[in-house]
Structure 1
Amino acid sequence: MNRMAITSQVSRRHVLQFAGTAALCGGLPIVTVRRAEATPAMLNSAIRNLVGEASVQQGRVKLEIPPLVENGNTVPMTVSVDHPMTDADHVTSIHVFNEKNPQPNIGNFYLTPRAGRPQVTTRIRLADSQKVVAIAKLSDGSFWSTSVDVIVTLAACTEEVP
């Protein structure tokens, strides 16, 4: 069959019928959104993986994050540690965790005395209202921590499932 014969057999009505049938029969994908399925137990496990059997002391760490967040897609956060940054005594790393995002570890930041001051600033995503925990590891092997409860009105970190 040549091209002219094919085009003459397909009418506008056929094209519209095909498009309508495809739409009704699933030609267009249906997208559902499901919430992240993390738990506070996953947070505790992630922290335990970092510190092992060491105890985590409260203090020295300051976590600046808004207590009420309108949009969880971009949340400003600053973690600073009240500690000197000398060759003999310094902050070696700062770790940030959360309890309800799909992954409990938000970020790991490794520092040397050349950093000048033990502080990191970034933006994070939060799936829901939750606790955010910051832990600093010092050069003597000790761990220091603080946490903040954050209320999120518009959640982030949702996944599309076909």
Structure 2
Amino acid sequence: MITPRRLLVAAPALLLLPRGAWATPEAMAAAVRDFTGGATVRTGRVAMDISPLVENGNTVPLSVIVDSPMTEQDHVRAVAVFNERNPQPHVITVRFGPRAGRALLATHIRLATSQTLLAVAACSDGSFWSDSAMVVVTLAACVEG
């Protein structure tokens, strides 16, 4: 029987267990295909703002803005962020509507190691637009133990 005391005693050993596989560029590409339904993703209209060099990967500011009039006929429906080296390649998806005013995502992300990030915007006309950024991390997050 597992008691709270036994779990507490075993906790340090649990940190030594093998971790799940890290995402790869191929896994990121597959996650992007899932988001876009296999449609072509063009570069442009999306601007990702993230520091190219971060000292600590635990909390990295990230913002994504998409050039769109945000009208009923022409608006951003969603923005997704992907990475190639964290445990999960699909970081976040934010949904927008025409009344959002502007397509802006501002958040913080944890980065396991230096890697490329990709932001993809899904527009109401069925087009997909993107921007990418390489980030060098000197102290990784997502790794404990």
For the aligned pair, the TM-score class normalised by the smaller chain equals: 0.7 to 0.9
Partner of 1:104: 89
In 2, Cα distance between equivalents of 1:27 and 1:69: 34
Partner of 2:112: 127
Greater CA drift, 105-114 or 33-42? 33-42
In the superposition, relative to structure 1, how do residues 153 and 138 fare at CA in structure 2: closer, same or farther (>3 Å)? same
In the superposition, relative to structure 1, how do residues 92 and 62 fare at CA in structure 2: closer, same or farther (>3 Å)? same
TM-score (normalizing by structure 2): 0.86
User: How many equivalent residue pairs?
Assistant: 135
Unaligned runs of 5+ in 1: 1-25
Partner of 2:16: 32
Q: What SS does structure 1 have at the residue aligned with 2:31?
A: helix
Greater CA drift, 64-73 or 30-39? 30-39
Tell me, yes or no, if the aligned pair for 1:34 and 1:159 is still in contact at 8 Å.
no
Residues 33-73 of structure 1: CA deviation (Å, up to 9, x unaligned): 86762211110110011112310000000000000011101
Q: Would you say 1:147 and 2:132 are equivalent positions?
A: yes
In 1, Cα distance between equivalents of 2:10 and 2:115: 39
Partner of 1:14: none
Between Structure 1 and Structure 2, whose CA radius of gyration is higher? Answer: 1
Unaligned runs of 5+ in 2: 1-8
Shift of 1:159: 4.9
In 1, Cα distance between equivalents of 2:115 and 2:137: 8
Q: What SS does structure 2 have at the residue aligned with 1:85?
A: coil
In 1, Cα distance between equivalents of 2:117 and 2:12: 36
What is the letter of the counterpart of residue 50 of structure 1? F
What is the letter of the counterpart of residue 142 of structure 2? C
Q: Percent identity?
A: 53
Of residues 39, 43, 55 in structure 1, which corresponds to 2:28? 43
Q: Would you say 1:78 and 2:78 are equivalent positions?
A: no
Tell me, yes or no, if the aligned pair for 1:33 and 1:158 is still in contact at 8 Å.
no
Shift of 1:141: 0.6
TM-score (normalizing by structure 1): 0.77
Shift of 1:29: 3.9
Q: What SS does structure 2 have at the residue aligned with 1:32?
A: coil
In 1, Cα distance between equivalents of 2:142 and 2:18: 10
